[in-house]
Structure 1
Amino acid sequence: MTARLDRRRPVDEWSARQLGVHPAIHGTGTPEDTGGFVLPEYVERDHDRRLRDRLRRAADRAHPVLVLVRGPSSAGKTRTAFEAVRACLRDWELVFPKTPGGLAALLDAGALVPRTVLWLNEAQNHLDSPAGEEAAAALHRRLEEPGPLVVLGTLWPEYHRRLTAAPASGTQAADAHPHARALLAQAAAVDVPASFTAEALADPRVGRDPSLAAAAATSTDGQVTQTLAAGPQLVDHYWRPTGPQGPYGRAVITAAMDARRLGHSSRLPAPFLESAASGYLTAEQRAAADPATWFAGALAYARERIKGVAAALGPVAGPEGMGALPDVHGLNDYLDHHARTARRLDVPPGSFWTAVRDHVTDTADLSALAEAASTRGRFRIAADLYRKVADAGDTSALGALARLRTKAGDTGEAERLYRQALAAGHPEAMTDLTRLREEAGDPEGAERLAWQAADAGDIWALVVLAQLREGAGDFDGAERLAHRAARAGSYTVARHLVRLRDVRDPEGAERLALEVDFDGKSRVHSNLWYVRGELMEDEDWERTEGESHYRGLVDGGDVPALSNLARLREKAGNPGGAERLYRRAADAGDTSALRNLARLRAAAGEAGEAELLYRQALDAGHVKALADLAQLYGEAGDAERAQRLSRGLEADGSQAQPW
């Protein structure tokens, strides 16, 4: 079904409510039962001036621009964008696609004509959706066409990090968002602070507007916009449930929080929430519940509007027409944001996973939740969910299911699943099947499969082939593979092949590293020096050109070189020098350096700082920091917290039984 084309309208015809601005709390003396949309006076701050300057310049340019208004939940991003468009582009038209399909329809129809604002409120809903990569590529193409045109989006910082993060160097992780990363690299970002400054709080409008005055009087740390949207009160409503239905409402809200933070991005069905909630309640609370009425009471508590504005769970509008969809709910954005910090170390109970299996049907949601289960050591649950995805017709889950069967030792079933994935059009399964054949003692069959995978475009198969060639003593064959990998643009593969060569033929490895560095950045050659630095005695390394080579890369701003040199400093017994380099790497955007920095801080006896760094690493998406935290708590004597994290929560599942 083709998505309906959203209509362009003059900017003046759009209201704040239509464009997604949250209604504010009612001020003192204002009737709270009128049901009206409250829009306080607007207090301009420094970020408003920066955004409006960008929009005015964009109006005079001949080509399109992408502007991001970035900030945490309830910081006022949408209101900032709304006021800026009205101030600077009032004589333009604006179009607001409500769904990824609506955005695709606008782009396909060529409807983004000059002097149009494309309004992407909560841009992650478009770019982090199953169709997000296609939308990002199409938007990128539109930015290359004539303007003037403004693409104006709002985005949380954590979504910006996720969408712009490149796969870690030296890993086989898939690049999940290459088009979104390329698109967002074109953006001019304006950051909205979470708090009002003292100067902003002194603005006369704060005192004369009832809503602003009430928010300023009850806010801490200047977080006026969050209070306007009842964020803190909503969190308090969650953490401190009141009344007989309070604990049941909190259980339902917690199930919704866990679903969202673990990857369930679509609306939440009521049967799922009802089924999941039991595991978040005590035995006494379950025994006291009336089976016929407890869930209705829990929903009433979760849907209670705080300050007449925000509820933990809200109705979900249908794609067309009026009214809410029956038996589905949406989680409040501010609570979603809060849960990603407050519950990041918590594992959902068994009832949650059972409810996912029984009541979640969207394959994208199931895949994300299956991955979350797998990274937390819940392999049997993950297998059940991946099987459900595959049975629903999404054959991309077959490879993940096969890897779980391999982990469980069932290589026969794993091979059957890999071949099923191949037949369904997933050539990347060939490399996994190659490894399986090699481990089963069939090198000839493995080599045949590896060549097929490489010919189909799976460059990682070249590593498998190189290992086979090295094992057979065919160094020339391995060298040819390194060149092929480099020509295909895979310097990670080329580095791996050079390392293989270095074991038996150091001079050949040196020559090969220099030959495959076609881009002049010496990435492969640098990797070779790093490997040798790990193997050499410290004083020998200090005298090689590798040390000066790395110092040159670091001085030139090479971020991966910072972490590599930090590791070598650490090996040489210089933790202070290593820390300084890790901090520089983290400040430059290498979030993996946070874990190494935390480890050094823990070794220095600074457990508090180490915990903070591990939590920052978790926020940046490094789930393995869970295992690091468990170890830190154990060493500090906090056995209960350590055991809670160790019960299958490690990201690699190393301490969890697969089945």
Structure 2
Amino acid sequence: MSRRWWPWTVAVVCSLVLAAAVIAAIVREGLEYAGWLGTILALLAIPPALIGWARRRAQADDAGRLSHVFLAATGDRLPHVRDLTGLSTLDHRYGRAGARADDDEVPFIRRDASRELEEALRAGGFLLVTGESTAGKTRAVFEAMRACLGGHTLVAPYRSNAVHQAVELAQRSRPSVLWLDDIERYLGGAGLTAGMVNDLLDGGGVVILATIRTGALDMFGSRADETGEDERESEYRRVGRQVLGTATHRVSIPLHWSDKEVARAGQVAGNEKVADALAHADEFGVAEYLAAGPQLLEDWHGARTPSSEHLRGAALVAAAVDVRRAGYSAGVTLDLLRSLHEHYLRASPGGALLRPEPWESALKWATHRPYAMTSMLIPQGDDLYRAFDYLVDATEARPEPAAPPREVWDALTGHLEDTDLPALFDVGSTAYDYGVLGAAERALRLVADKGEGELSASARAMLGLALETRAEAGETPEADGYAAARKEYERAAASGWPEAVAHAQMRLGVLLAKLDERAESVAWFKRARDSGHPWYGGRASRHLGYWLDWWGDLDQAREAFQHTIEHGHPRQSIKAMIAMGDLLADHDPDAAAAAYRRALSAGDPELATAAALYLGILLDRAGDRRGAYEAMDQAAALSDADGAPWLIASLDFQLDDYASAGALPRLEGRKAKSVRRFERIADIGHPRVTPLALVYLGLIRLAEGDEAEAGRSWEQARAGGHRRAGELADELLADLSDEPDPS
């Protein structure tokens, strides 16, 4: 018998025994004496008391049973919000610093958004609070929760794999608050789903309170869908976007404080920490300075030089940062970090000649809390640590950040394979996203073989993709890699789990098309298309159209694209509109232009930019120079003066398309089309588009071995008067002139 149910069993049994005794007494004695009535009433009062005791005992039992993954109050029970004396009492087990203990010494300065937060909490539902990692969103929403929901039971999981238990507890403990600080930690794998959120909110009496960093939120935005052949991360982001889409209230906390907020802070400037933050408000924002994010980043980078006194500490932080970047957001043991950091020490300038500080000094430095707010390395209880969000975000924000080294992937795989398979799935998927395909295969194979149910099936489909990609990258023999991938896809397709089945069916369609097994490829594409899956179904239909076009069956290709437009995921539909335009460009230019214009007006700025570029190329080919120029105007208008973000992204995609097509002989036609597109855009002569296109055209000429033509393209880009294109052209021309003469 479950420990949770034994108190209820005792209460019910006792109630039945008492009721039976009362009835027997009445039958035997009658109600001759008034005293019997008093006795009966007294006895009948006992069962409710027993029921109440049972409820309290079950709740206490839950708290005790789950106290290792949930915040529990004194007396081994889930706390009420009013029990929290400060943010440190909530955050000390999993919080961003264990540094919260001193956070409460800083008086709370009411934010402009505080009233909106309080109104949302009183209304109930799902409140999502967004902002930069150090904007102060957690403190602001914590104080709003204390002000409005004091009588609610607080369910605060500090482990990402406890979210299912958290939902169950929140349902049983109404009125309750489900606290999900950094909600992205609870998404993916076996995490939170939109269905769980809806079920939780349908019954009323539960408030879901979640925060998310702006950098993490961007992952679930309009670019949440995959590009090229990479899709696992897209699927994770799509599911996460569904969860975030269920939020009934969204409130953003700005990084920089308003004049009113600064004035309110000035009223408590007798506090040294607040006064110091106010002095730097213009540069960092009050909350960010208090959180010391920029200073910690500067200290970390400064410690990575050979003359530093904190070389070991910097290596320790680097190891923790890369653990987070590898897809593992929970804390890891010091033993694991101690082993990993040796790699970063060896890789430091000076290598074996360095004389780093002792381990104890390194750990003390890495966990030091300037301004009592946070630290580079954050204690999470149970001897677990993780890197501060700000350092992770700053590292990822660098141009083309390198993937974490092999040692990180190996260590996480060994650490997680027997303890947390959902987390290992995330690590394997992240390795795939970085292109570390060997690490991805190892991690995903372990999850597929050791996991159960949907997790195993999803890992098997993703494993097939890793094997297929390794074969195409030349890491394994193509025939062997394709055969192994096919086997994994077929096992996933037979698993019975709808999402894994649709994913595997779609991948089998692609793989068999590459093998020129056309009939089987079409059959698998159609199975995926007809699966009803909103993402993989539309993607399968679109890819079927691409391959039918390649095989010369234009009518069937057009039908496939039309099916995606009518039935696919919204972003898939827009991609199919563009594909339809490409298909018809040589056969029915008017219909092609209509398809591009439909995509242009569909509301996705990235895809609208591509549609505008292709429309301009089409009109230029038809001799409509004015229309072509206007289309380029539309493409440029969706980005800033430097072409960021969408114009650059679209040109990047075209260059990637050229490179990937060039790697496969059967796609030479697509490679030539990419070159012609850059040439056409360059020829149109638009001042905000053409110079950038010339930069990319020069890169293609260089890849083809024609340095002279590459140089001419870059000279034209530099002369075009476009600031960003000119800077890029200068750098490329300088690199070209530095190359040694091959003769």
Query: 89, 93, 97: which is aligned to 1:18?
Result: 89
User: Cα–Cα, structure 1 residues 256 and 343, in superposed 2: closer, same or farther, change >3 Å?
Assistant: farther
Structure-1 residue corresponding to 2:467: 402
User: Cα–Cα, structure 1 residues 486 and 507, in superposed 2: closer, same or farther, change >3 Å?
Assistant: farther
Structure-2 residue corresponding to 1:108: 168
CA distance in 2 between counterparts of 1:400 and 1:333 reads 30
Query: 41, 49, 67: which is aligned to 2:115?
Result: 49
8 Å Cα contact 1:93/1:115 also seen in 2: yes
**1:248, CA displacement in angstroms?**
2.1
CA distance in 2 between counterparts of 1:387 and 1:315 reads 32
**1:105, CA displacement in angstroms?**
1.9
Structure-2 residue corresponding to 1:617: none
8 Å Cα contact 1:405/1:413 also seen in 2: yes
RMSD over aligned Cα, in angstroms?
4.8
1:159 partnered with 2:216? yes
**1:372, CA displacement in angstroms?**
4.7
1:46-70 CA-to-partner distances (Å, cap 9, x unmatched) read 22232223334x0xxxxx5211111
Structure-1 residue corresponding to 2:127: 67
User: Cα–Cα, structure 1 residues 372 and 286, in superposed 2: closer, same or farther, change >3 Å?
Assistant: farther
Query: 243, 246, 250: which is aligned to 1:183?
Result: 243
Structure-2 residue corresponding to 1:636: 732
CA distance in 2 between counterparts of 1:359 and 1:489 reads 32
8 Å Cα contact 1:430/1:450 also seen in 2: no
Aligned residue type for 2:732: A
Query: 131, 154, 167: which is aligned to 2:190?
Result: 131
Query: 385, 391, 396: which is aligned to 1:340?
Result: 396
Structure-2 residue corresponding to 1:194: 255
1:302 partnered with 2:366? yes
**1:332, CA displacement in angstroms?**
1.9
Aligned residue type for 1:490: G
SS in 2 for 1:75: coil
Q: TM-score, normalised by structure 2?
A: 0.63
Structure-1 residue corresponding to 2:24: none
1:86-124 CA-to-partner distances (Å, cap 9, x unmatched) read 333345443323334543224335635654332222222
Aligned residue type for 1:595: A
Query: 367, 378, 402: which is aligned to 1:314?
Result: 378
1:19-40 CA-to-partner distances (Å, cap 9, x unmatched) read 33989999xxxxxxxx855432
8 Å Cα contact 2:256/2:284 also seen in 1: yes
CA distance in 1 between counterparts of 2:640 and 2:387 reads 33
User: Cα–Cα, structure 1 residues 353 and 181, in superposed 2: closer, same or farther, change >3 Å?
Assistant: closer
Unaligned runs of 5+ in 1: 27-34, 59-63, 318-323, 460-482, 611-627, 644-659
Structure-2 residue corresponding to 1:96: 156
Task: Compare relative contact order (CA 8 Å, sep 6+) and give the higher one, 1 or 2.
Answer: 1
Aligned residue type for 1:20: D
8 Å Cα contact 1:23/1:229 also seen in 2: no
CA distance in 2 between counterparts of 1:486 and 1:123 reads 25
CA distance in 2 between counterparts of 1:381 and 1:580 reads 43
CA distance in 2 between counterparts of 1:99 and 1:376 reads 25
CA distance in 1 between counterparts of 2:447 and 2:535 reads 32
Structure-2 residue corresponding to 1:321: none
User: Cα–Cα, structure 1 residues 89 and 579, in superposed 2: closer, same or farther, change >3 Å?
Assistant: farther
Bigger helix fraction: 2
8 Å Cα contact 1:370/1:383 also seen in 2: yes
**1:311, CA displacement in angstroms?**
2.3
1:214 partnered with 2:276? yes
SS in 1 for 2:91: coil
1:415-472 CA-to-partner distances (Å, cap 9, x unmatched) read 246436645747555665666666567x4xx745874x569x534xxxxxxxxxxxxx
Task: Give aligned-pair identity as a percent.
Answer: 22
**1:215, CA displacement in angstroms?**
1.6
Larger Rg: 2
Matched ranges for 1:238-253 at <5 A: 238-241=300-303, 245-253=309-317
Aligned residue type for 2:350: E
SS in 2 for 1:118: strand
Matched ranges for 1:448-527 at <5 A: 451=523, 453=524, 458-459=528-529, 490-498=537-545, 526-527=577-578
Q: TM-score, normalised by structure 1?
A: 0.70
Moved more, 424-433 or 185-194: 424-433
8 Å Cα contact 1:24/1:37 also seen in 2: no
User: Cα–Cα, structure 1 residues 248 and 217, in superposed 2: closer, same or farther, change >3 Å?
Assistant: same
**1:81, CA displacement in angstroms?**
0.5
User: Cα–Cα, structure 1 residues 80 and 633, in superposed 2: closer, same or farther, change >3 Å?
Assistant: farther
1:140 partnered with 2:198? yes
Moved more, 3-12 or 81-90: 3-12
SS in 2 for 1:207: coil
